[in-house]
Chain A
């Protein structure tokens, strides 16, 4: 049996506050924490939004909201998870606004558009697999995409994902399972190639 979940910030310094005095130095402390978790936060934003422009915009908004609410941050808790939760809330709000405007809905995107039928697994050069995987990720519904991003791509355990997404662990597990089954179908040629040792 494999275990892949590792704490997100285990190797990142400044994950938690050491003392109450640190808490009062708001901007400097916040800047340090944000810088320490910047890469992870950006990656999560990118997996949620699917492009660089929107991910930077989302992270900017989340960082500002987190800074305004920084006085409510609990010392001794994980800053990265707190920031991720704020960012996910912002992302869900954006989706709702976009749905109201009827511009587009990520839920309407089907997996049929994920794969390029002309490109077989044998044509996939090393590193070029990123495209199909990210396209398949974007084709998932937002809630499933968030779970895959947190658990499979960021390496967070189920309980952390549940805390960030404000849902029970059982929901994380079932969403993750459905998402992986959908990805299996959309990435079928690559799954088969991987199992046959061609990748």
Chain B
């Protein structure tokens, strides 16, 4: 019966005196365990030849700068985040507001309608997509009497 991890602990001096004496008694009689112990000691010595790894000189300052940014992010008050979120929400609601389409299907009211849309879009650029979608579905074809004719001639 050979020793196992007791040898590593013995080598590192982490056994109790009683445990160490038991291991020492075994080693006195077991050539194989003595060989293993010598090998383990050599491995440990080889590991000590590992190079002194050094970080990049700027690594610490980079890390501290990142940490300073973390702290900056953390110091933004919660109430300020809530107010900003509410303001963004209100702004989005305003952007999505679309004037109702004209009930009269004549050219004058349609021009007036597009003028209103153009003014609104100038102030609310984000509403363009909404307007296009809305107009394509809601605006009656007879608003442009010449439009079907133009399509026929193509």
Contacts and interface: CB of A to CB of B under 8 A. Distances in A.
A52 interface: yes
Contact of A183 (B4, B11, B43, B66): B43
Name A's interface SS: helix
B70 A129 contact: no
Interface residues of A, number: 52
A3 B20 CA distance: 13
A42 interface: yes
Interface in B45-90: 45-56, 59-60, 62-64, 66-68, 70-71, 74
Contacts of B41: 2
Contacts of B62: 60
B54 A39 contact: yes
Contacts of A34: 60, 63-64
Contacts of B55: 38-39, 42, 55-56, 59
A1 B13 contact: yes
A120 B4 CA distance: 29
Interface residues of B, number: 41
Given A42-B53, A194-B46, A67 B11 contact: no
Contact of A35 (B20, B40, B60): B60
A132 B128 CA distance: 65
Contacts of A4: 12-13, 44
A151 interface: yes
Contacts of B64: 31, 34-35
Top 7 nearest A-B pairs (CB, nearest first) are A177-B5, A42-B55, A177-B8, A3-B13, A130-B51, A152-B47, A191-B42
30 contacts: A2-B12, A3-B13, A30-B67, A31-B67, A38-B55, A42-B55, A43-B52, A56-B55, A59-B55, A59-B63, A60-B62, A60-B66, A64-B66, A64-B67, A67-B67, A67-B71, A130-B49, A133-B47, A152-B48, A157-B14, A158-B12, A173-B8, A173-B9, A177-B8, A180-B40, A191-B39, A191-B43, A191-B46, A194-B42, A195-B42
